[in-house]
Amino acid sequence: MCGICGVVQLDPEKPVPRNLLRAMTAALGHRGPDGEGLYLAGPVGLGHRRLAIIDLHTGHQPLSNEDRTLWVVCNGEIYNFRELRASLTKAGHRFATGSDTEVIVHAYEEYGDNCLEELNGMFAFALWDARRQKLLLARDRLGIKPLYYALLPGALVFASELKALLAHPEVPRRLDPTALRLYLALEYVPTPQAIFAGIRKLPAAHLLLCNRQGVQLRPYWNLSYNHDATPAPAASARQLRDLLRSTVRDHLLSDVPLGAFLSGGVDSTAVVALMREAVAGPLITSSIGFAEAAYNELPYARIAADRFQTQHHEETVSPRVAELLP
């Protein structure tokens, strides 16, 4: 879980103050304990807080292309980065790191805004194109990684969390009454609204472009359904298993130890089973139990942990749960 933020001044002669970008980035410190990076160039500033998962030593962000005309900050993972890296290297691109994030700048060089069609992963990223003086914000197809933005009278600001946006003095701290009503009715705030007025969530599978001509928001992918397909139950089961196995393997790309939350239910147990198929070494699982027997699933989690030989950890939560907080 990394954190990104940034500011683009609509007046190209107005620089982004370093102390402002630092304050916004510092508000995301809990998302990335492994490092902080800033990029400042006149009217644009990009900030990043890093939780190192892939390429622990050279994957610091912001990252650039060879001539430093493209800069990117990203929260998430690109699962097919090895395949993309190989094809882009064959096309003549040169990579400076082993980071999955670096494929974004080279994919953009090769495909432009259509690079999003090539990316398989969970991500929210911001890419600054210095030649075209254009910012590209993008969010993954399912909206797994968060991204908020606000269009101010003189700037576009964005961040992984609301608190980083609120570090900007021009972002109003005023509740959106409609969003509040939706929250009280639904217990969440639907996209594209946020709980604060003037702030929006970038929708899943969308990109936002910002340049001197203005701001453009558009989808880059839509989920399609085949209503005529009626596979037999056995075929559906095989297809589901193959898809689960494939996506679990995608999620196992990591340069740090792997683990899983295990409730003992069908879903998390299936994930751990497929992880065990793919991982020969240690596999860490963690479970939460409750003092009330009706809500406690620890016995089922232990069965699964024993079956798949995981390094299992448990924590029982009581009404005094506040004592667990740091």
The CATH architecture one would assign to domain 233-324 is: 3-Layer(aba) Sandwich (3.40)
**Beta strand ranges found along 65-223 (DSSP E):** 70-78, 121-129, 134-139, 148-151, 155-159, 199-201, 206-211, 214-219
Nearest to 288, CA basis, from 251, 317, 264, 310: 317
The pLDDT value given to residue 55: 52
HEC string of 10-69 equals CCCCCCCCHHHHHHHHHCCHHHCECCEEEEEECCEEEEEEECCCCCCCCCCCCEECCCCC
Residue 222, pLDDT score:
93
How does pLDDT run across 38-66, given as a tens digit for each residue?
A: 999 999 999 999 775 655 556 688 999 99
pLDDT given at position 326: 64
For domain 3-219, give the fold.
Answer: Glutamine Phosphoribosylpyrophosphate, subunit 1, domain 1 (3.60.20)
Distance between CA atoms of residues 42 and 71, nearest Å = 14
152-172 pLDDT, tens digit each: 999 999 999 999 999 999 999
- pLDDT of 132 above 70: yes
Confidence category of residue 229, pLDDT binned at 50, 70, 90: confident
Each domain of the chain, given as residue ranges in start order, spans 3-219, 233-324
Q: What is the rounded average pLDDT of the residues 256-273? A: 91
Query: What is the per-residue pLDDT for 264?
Result: 85
Q: Which of 2, 5, 115, 210 is catalytic?
A: 2
Cβ pair 81, 39 in contact under 8 A: no
| The model's pTM | 0.89
Mean pLDDT of 92-97: 94
pLDDT bucket at 256, cuts 50 / 70 / 90: confident
Whether 115 is catalytic: no
